Amino acid sequence: MSEPLVRRMREFGTTVFATMTKLAVETGSINLGQGFPDTDGPARMLERAVEAVRDGFNQYPPGPGVPELRRAVAEHREKWYGLAYDPDGEVLVTVGATEAIAAAVLALCEPGDEVIVFEPYYDSYAAAVALAGAVRRPVTLRVDAGRFTFDPAELAAAVGPRTRAVLVNSPHNPTGTVFNRQELEAIAEVCRERDLVAISDEVYEHLTFDGVEHVPLATLPGMRERTVMISSAGKSFSVTGWKTGWICAPAPLVAAVQAVKQFLTFTAAAPWQLAVAYGLREEMDWVNGLRADLQAKRDRLIAGLETAGFGVLRPAGTYFVQTDIRPLGFDDGLELARRLPELAGVVAIPTQAFYDNVSRGRHFLRFAFCKKDEVIAEAVTRLRHLSSGSTL
């Protein structure tokens, strides 16, 4: 049989996460590759999910989502960001942020339309754009003063007559950059002037450090009307397996996304929705605790990586830290990622996997710190072997 997979999906073989996780298992290495927490979400919220199942909350919920969750989402947007969304018509519950992104791109982009993405980009963006038959136009985030940022002129130059949307992700995976107002204003300006839709992935909205503020793109002048704001319970509440996300947007945009979403999954699983509604209303203190914990984990991992000889780029948000491997005498992150199990018994992700311009990401390696303290401590101990010179 000839290759059964449609041509537009062939460039997306196996994700780098699956490959590196397999390598970690085969070599018994500590996996600081894939970004999921190894501890549970708030106990009362987990209990609410169990209760929902026991209480018979097990049939199809309404297509847009359980009303209680849509109301809790609207209250949360108002309370945290001063953004008013109508729970009936401006909020749509999705099967994680992943479905929200795919449904938004499929709903809003015609074949041949162009979508701006900031590289390194989250891997599902490129796949969603390809599924829609659209074309991705990367704008590279480059290191300046210790953080990844973009050149507004490059962003403006990437917009052409076929550009339909900008896919924004802040706090940004995999760089840990949290866009500041100036950067967001540069994006907003392009969107307003060229009449683009912003698809804004904000799944790390609550995971920012050192007092850095997350500013939703929709709060900028003229942006609420053209922004599809995407969130997920997975990262905020450490329940990545629940796959419960949502979008907030003006009614016509929500209706468009729902038109696609209804034929992807119709609706999202019911019990989690009730539990997440509870979480948004009652467990934000827990989320603040998670943020503080993650900041401490970040600092411990960074100290260890610096001792090991990596150049470290301190993230202002997310679960991830980017390292420059050149101070260690390497220049290809893919090669080092493959050898790291043997050299140090640790697995990380070669950042170049998330670029169209692979050479621009060649010397970066991504480590995740959403792991138990003892796991990070052991990884740090092992990574010391790298700088001791014994294995190089």
Ligand X SMILES: *Cc1c(COP(=O)(O)O)cnc(C)c1O
Tell me which stretch binds ligand X (CB under 6 A): 92-100, 218-226, 266-274, 277-285: 92-100
Give the list of residues 6+ apart from residue 287 with CB closer than 8 angstroms, or none: 206, 236, 237
Q: How far is the CB of 233 from ligand X (least distance, A)?
A: 7
Q: How far is the CB of 235 from ligand X (least distance, A)?
A: 6
Q: How far is the CB of 348 from ligand X (least distance, A)?
A: 16
The nearer residue to ligand X, 139 or 203, going by C-beta atoms, is 203
The nearer residue to ligand X, 277 or 386, going by C-beta atoms, is 277
Half-sphere exposure of 85 (CA within 13 A, CB side): 35
The verdict on 236 binding ligand X (CB under 6 A) reads: no
- Please select the residue that binds ligand X; options are 31, 34, 98, 273, rule is CB under 6 A: 98
Q: What would the two tokens of residue 284 be?
A: 């934000």
Binding residues among 321-380 for ligand X as defined by CB under 6 A = none
- Please select the residue that binds ligand X; options are 243, 261, 297, 382, rule is CB under 6 A: 243
Judge whether 267 and 61 are in contact, CB under 8 Å: yes
Tell me which stretch binds ligand X (CB under 6 A): 67-75, 237-245, 330-338, 359-367: 237-245
Compute the distance between CA of residue 238 and CA of residue 29 in angstroms, rounded to an integer: 23
Task: For the chain, give the number of residues.
Answer: 392
Tell me which stretch binds ligand X (CB under 6 A): 42-50, 177-185, 228-236, 329-337: 228-236
Measured over all CA atoms, what is the biggest interatomic distance in the chain, rounded to whole angstroms?
Answer: 62
The nearer residue to ligand X, 97 or 312, going by C-beta atoms, is 97
C-alpha pair distances (Å), 165 with each of 8, 83, 113, 169, 198: 20, 22, 8, 13, 6
The verdict on 122 binding ligand X (CB under 6 A) reads: yes
Binding residues among 127-156 for ligand X as defined by CB under 6 A = none
Site string for ligand X, 198-227 (x = CB under 6 A): ---x-x------------------------
Element counts in the chain: helices (H) and strands (E): 13, 15
Binding residues among 272-311 for ligand X as defined by CB under 6 A = none
The nearer residue to ligand X, 121 or 278, going by C-beta atoms, is 121
The verdict on 245 binding ligand X (CB under 6 A) reads: yes
The nearer residue to ligand X, 97 or 158, going by C-beta atoms, is 97
Q: How far is the CB of 74 from ligand X (least distance, A)?
A: 19
Site residue total, ligand X (CB under 6 A): 14
Closest residue (Cβ) to ligand X?
96
Compute the distance between CA of residue 141 and CA of residue 46 in angstroms, rounded to an integer: 38
Binding residues among 160-199 for ligand X as defined by CB under 6 A = 169, 173
For residue 221, the tally of other CB atoms under 10 A from its CB is 9
Nearest to 8 by CA among 133, 125, 128: 133
Q: How far is the CB of 40 from ligand X (least distance, A)?
A: 16
The nearer residue to ligand X, 31 or 308, going by C-beta atoms, is 31
DSSP assignment of 7-70 equals: GGGGGG-S-HHHHHHHHHHHHT-EE-SS---SS---HHHHHHHHHHHHTT--SPPPTT--HHHH
Q: How far is the CB of 172 from ligand X (least distance, A)?
A: 7
Compute the distance between CA of residue 349 and CA of residue 359 in angstroms, rounded to an integer: 16
The verdict on 258 binding ligand X (CB under 6 A) reads: no
- Please name the amino acid found at residue 40: D
Nearest to 66 by CA among 41, 84, 45, 92: 92
The nearer residue to ligand X, 49 or 203, going by C-beta atoms, is 203
DSSP assignment of 148-208 equals: EE--HHHHHHH--TTEEEEEEESSPTTT-----HHHHHHHHHHHHHTTPEEEEE-TTTT-B
Half-sphere exposure of 287 (CA within 13 A, CB side): 22
The verdict on 232 binding ligand X (CB under 6 A) reads: yes
- Please select the residue that binds ligand X; options are 97, 130, 197, 349, rule is CB under 6 A: 97
What residues line the site for ligand X (CB under 6 A)? Answer: 96-98, 122, 169, 173, 201, 203, 232, 234-235, 240, 243, 245
